[in-house]
């Protein structure tokens, strides 16, 4: 079945620096991709959903890139601030079972002032 690898597991950056989190997946026919954010002690909330073949989506303070050729999904936080300190999870909907998603193992991001 679908395997999702997320790197790095931990990331510490200074305020104003960028932070990049990457997920690679195995199912070339996966179609829906998600990034979720989990603040300390809280539940998960959607950051962004993407599904085009190669796409750059820009949100508030971040960019998501999907490269289907390389089976890679990345989240780039530009000019990180302490409020970005959280755990981030990618999720991929596999073609083998369209009723579920497979989550990456998460990245714990710490933004230092």
Q: In terms of CB distance, is 8 or 16 closer to another protein?
A: 8
Q: Which residues contact 56 (CB under 8 A, 6 or more apart)?
A: 63, 64, 65
Alpha-carbon span 71 to 85, nearest angstrom: 26
Binding site for another protein (CB under 8 A): 1, 6, 9, 31-32, 34, 36, 42-46, 49, 51, 89, 91, 93, 97-106
* Min CB(80)–another protein separation in Å: 21
Q: In terms of CB distance, is 94 or 111 closer to another protein?
A: 94
φ/ψ (deg, to 5) at 22: -125, 140
């Amino acid at each position: 079945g679908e395997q999702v690898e997320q790197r790095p597991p931990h990331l510490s950056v200074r305020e104003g620096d960028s932070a990049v989190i990457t997920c690679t997946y195995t199912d070339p026919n996966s179609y829906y991709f998600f990034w979720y954010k989990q603040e300390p002690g809280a539940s998960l909330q959607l950051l962004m959903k993407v599904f085009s073949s190669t796409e750059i989506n820009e949100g508030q303070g971040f960019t998501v890139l999907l490269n289907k050729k390389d089976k890679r999904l990345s989240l780039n936080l530009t000019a990180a601030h302490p409020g970005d300190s959280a755990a981030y999870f990618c999720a991929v909907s596999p073609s083998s079972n369209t009723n579920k998603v497979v989550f990456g193992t998460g990245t714990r991001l710490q933004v230092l002032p």
